[in-house]
Homo-oligomer: A and B are copies of this chain.
Amino acid sequence: MTASERVYASLRAAVLEGQFPPCQALKPQELATRHGVSLAVAREALLRLVGEGLADRLPKRGFAVPATGAERWQQIAEARSLMEPAALRLAVARGDLEWEAAVRASHHRLAGTPFFERPGDTWVSDAWAEAHRRFHRTLLEGCGNDVVLETFDRLWTAGELARRWSLAADPARDADAEHRAIEEAALAREADRAADLLCRHILHTAASLKS
Binding site for B on A (CB under 8 A): 2, 5, 40, 43-44, 47-48, 50-52, 59-60, 72, 75-76, 78-79, 82-83, 86-87, 90, 145-148, 151, 154-155, 158
Q: Which of A40, A51, A79, A154 has the most CB of B within 10 A?
A: A79
Which single member of B44, B48, B78 contacts A147 (CB below 8 Å)? Answer: B78
14 contacts between A and B (CB under 8 A): A43-B44, A48-B50, A51-B51, A51-B52, A75-B145, A78-B148, A79-B148, A79-B151, A83-B83, A83-B86, A83-B151, A151-B151, A151-B154, A151-B155
CA distance A158 to B34 in the complex (A): 36
A66 to chain B, nearest CB (A): 12
CA distance A51 to B54 in the complex (A): 11
Which single member of B5, B59, B78 contacts A145 (CB below 8 Å)? Answer: B78
Q: Given A2-B59, A78-B90, A79-B83, list of 7 further CB < 8 A pairs?
A: A44-B44, A50-B51, A78-B145, A79-B151, A83-B86, A86-B86, A151-B155
Q: Which of A43, A82, A83, A151 has the most CB of B within 10 A?
A: A82
